[in-house]
């Protein structure tokens, strides 16, 4: 999996950096092709290459976006993925922070549904998944229960929702 250099939570749940229409257009260009040259993006959005480069860096620095290689985990040696629902007693934040610090946790979200947290876990195999859930997640103070949804096959994974 690609490493994450920016903290995506920095742009959520607190003060949101303002993103103007031109920056949104740049984001859409990069969602279509993350390797698109800044000169081509500039032409599409009406800016110079240097101005696009500055805006992209600002968006990265603010945690508004990341530019990463998205893979099918199976093709790079991670044979087991699961979504884990976690029920918490008391404050959810410390549990969410602890789970988010785990390298296997690719996605952590607080919910208002059946579970307090939903966590996507990417592991090498079933033994690794069992160790993460049983020895690490369930051992966290405040975790009341977990429910695991093991992925059998990845049918679609896309990040092309644009900026609507």
> Domain for residue 8, yes or no?
no
Residue 43's CATH number: 1.10.10.10
In a shared domain, residues 94 and 40: no
CA neighbours closer than 13 Å in the CB half-sphere of residue 11: 15
In a shared domain, residues 58 and 102: no
Assign residue 82 a region: left if phi > 0, alpha if psi is -120 to 50, beta otherwise?
beta
pLDDT digits (tens, 9 = 90+) for 45-54: 999 999 999 9
> Domain for residue 126, yes or no?
yes
Angle 84-89-91 from CA coordinates, rounded to 5°? 95
Q: What is the mean pLDDT of residues 17-42?
A: 92
pLDDT the model gives residue 76: 83
pLDDT the model gives residue 12: 44
pLDDT digits (tens, 9 = 90+) for 69-112: 877 777 888 889 999 999 999 999 999 999 999 999 999 999 99
In a shared domain, residues 38 and 82: no
In a shared domain, residues 79 and 27: no
In a shared domain, residues 35 and 91: no
pLDDT the model gives residue 162: 65
Segments forming the whole domain that contains residue 48: 21-62
In a shared domain, residues 77 and 25: no
116: number of Cβ within 10 Å: 20
Domains of the chain: total: 2
Which tokens belong to 156? 């679609």
Record the pTM: 0.73
In a shared domain, residues 55 and 78: no
> Domain for residue 32, yes or no?
yes
In a shared domain, residues 115 and 139: yes
């Amino acid at each position: 999996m690609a490493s994450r250099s920016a903290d995506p939570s920095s742009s959520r749940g607190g003060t949101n950096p303002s993103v103007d229409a031109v920056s949104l257009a740049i984001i859409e260009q990069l969602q279509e092709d993350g390797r698109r040259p800044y000169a081509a993006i500039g032409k599409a959005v009406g800016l110079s290459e240097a101005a696009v480069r500055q805006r992209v860096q600002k968006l990265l620095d603010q945690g508004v976006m990341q530019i990463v290689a998205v893979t099918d985990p199976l093709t790079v040696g991670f044979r087991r993925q699961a979504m884990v629902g976690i029920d918490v007693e008391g404050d959810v934040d410390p549990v969410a922070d602890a789970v988010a610090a785990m390298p296997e946790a690719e996605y952590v979200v607080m919910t208002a549904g059946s579970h307090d947290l939903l966590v996507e876990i990417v592991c090498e195999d079933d033994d690794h998944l069992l160790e993460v859930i049983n020895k690490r997640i369930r051992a966290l103070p405040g975790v009341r229960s977990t429910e695991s949804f093991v992925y059998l096959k990845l049918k679609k994974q896309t990040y092309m929702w644009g900026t609507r």
